[in-house]
Structure 1
Amino acid sequence: MNLTEWKEKCSAAEAEYRDIISNAASSDALEAARVNCLGRKGVLTELLKNLKDFTIEEKKEAGPLGNKIKKDLEDAFYSKKNALESAALNEELAKTNIDLTLPGWPVANGHKHPLTIAMDRMTAILSKLGFVWAEGPQIEEEKYNFDFLNIPLHHPARDVQDTLIIGGGAKKGMVLRSHTSNVQVRYMEKNKPPLRIMSPGKVFRRDDIDASHSPVFHQIEGLYVDKNVSLADLKSDLTAFMKGLFGNKAEVRFRPSFFPFTEPSVEVDVKCVFCDGKSPCSFCKGTGWKEMLGAGIVHPNVLRNVGIDPEIYSGYAFGMGVERLAMLMLGIKDIRAFYENDLRIWKQF
């Protein structure tokens, strides 16, 4: 193909596709034409490949001409595409009734719920301590909620006045989980030490006696199992966790306690941020301290129940209420404020 023939074919292609662009009735038809013209195997693309066969002098003339035709067609496709999209939008708007009395932009942005803020901070700190996220069912078998955790049938926690029981029949033996310890048991059944998990989630109890209790609340539990895990490891990690939440000046204390699934067991308290024990306080009841969580060394029976040899491995576990910690973190005195959806409260966070 000589230069004259090439120029004639380029002009013909330009005229043809300008006509197609002008008459295109839809974006799909326009896109198909663009691919046929400017795609990798398009008409104009194939013509431009012939430039390699021309002499240097011919390329000086043909090159700028070919590039100009390509640029002009690209601009024509782009302009037509915008015109078609605008027409389609205007047609759609014409079918819609718009209430011009509604407020315009900007629309007020939402933000995270205080409990989400608190849980995010807690799990972020635990992640830095090496804990990984684990989840389990909220409707649980009694064996995972109680039996495997060394909680016998006669234990008060299994009484119907404390635990929310699911109906009989096919669901007999099912409860709304009263803690997220069920996640720990299920995880240990399927994973062998060493393991370090946190199990955040919603739990359910018949418990709404005062401003710091609710029948539905959130917990984060932690479990660490390995060789030679001791109470010193537990105290070190929980102290680091509490100071991560409340600052290096936070005062933390450990008190002996009892839980069926840990031995020895401890209660972990934090100095009340509302009164410091110097005045009557509905949150800490004037003691100056607030119980934040229970913890302890995993009972050997719990390890045996999931097939882990307590002669080789040991571990610690802890469980905390997210709402109770959030009350201290965010300065909220009544747990019910988390669920009342009062925007005057939420706007403070």
Structure 2
Amino acid sequence: MWREVEKTRINEFNYEKIIGLLGEEGLMEDAVTAFMEMKSFGLCLSLEVYNSIIHGYARNGKFDDALFYLNQMREMNLSPGSDTYDGLIEAYGKCRMYDEMAMCLKKMELDGCSPDRCTYNLLIQEYAQGGLLTKMERVYQSMRTKRMTLQSSTLISMLEAYANFGIVEKMEKILRRAWNSKITVKEDLVRKLAGVYIENYMFSRLHDLAVDLTCRTGRTDFVWCLHLLSHACLLSRRGMDTVVREMEDAKVCWNITVANIILLAYLKMKDFTRLRILLSKLQESRVEPDIVTFGILFDAEEIGFDGKKCLEMWRKTGQLYKRVEMNTDPLVVSAFGKGKLPQKL
């Protein structure tokens, strides 16, 4: 129907676009039908057309079909470009076919097509996501030798890979490079970095992380959490008091995460006086206890704290009759543990 409206529509440009769109949608039978039509009309089969077919099959995991059209290109005396191989490499990586990915790179070089900046960035990203750090670092060194620059997404992939394996020194080196390049590091990744510091008892680094984040996002609830958690894990009353004063000066309202961080620190210090005072002030601060708060109270009772008044107050305010939820930031639980509450329940 499309062809019959106007014969001039039958040209290389239009078929290029159509085959590209069909390939992106994974409609490979239709894409190949359009490809065969191009042949029947005597239209020139361009590199872009072959790339669409090859990449479409590769994305669907049909690598034999993709390689069939790659070989057909050579028979047509049409040289594959770096884009052609990049699409194959990316598809192999997504299917975790890393040996085939390396072979594709060698084939690319043997065909006289030199890997470019995009190829190397793509290799690093795929190796990083697969946890193949040695291969990732080897490609990274090759890029440095060739004085090629890393893409922002590549730096983030490397940062996440080092965080996943808890390799602190290399993680920090890449993080510093990301900060210096003004690359946005999303909160979920920052949380992962914070988790690595917690696992390695590097609590002062949480403060450094918060300072770096402040320059980029301002003092969000998450930033306050990191500041406070850093001092609380080090059991520094002075540090916690300083953060609390800064929050008051900034007119920041408390939430249950802030309260529980301080309560957990007092529990670790066995400072029952401050623990009792803060528990009694929760209602005044309009902060409702969550399951972590109850756990703190029960853990404190295990070591001699008298929590009857607190429980009575929660009973009067109806807290004991509500559905108790977990509203504390998960990093707090990672830092201090779950306590004995599960056994109590």
TM-score, normalised to structure 2, is: 0.19
- Identify which of structures 1 and 2 has the higher relative contact order when contacts are C-alpha pairs closer than 8 Å and 6+ apart: 1
Richer in helix (by share): 2
TM-score, normalised to structure 1, is: 0.19
User: Which structure has the bigger radius of gyration?
Assistant: 1
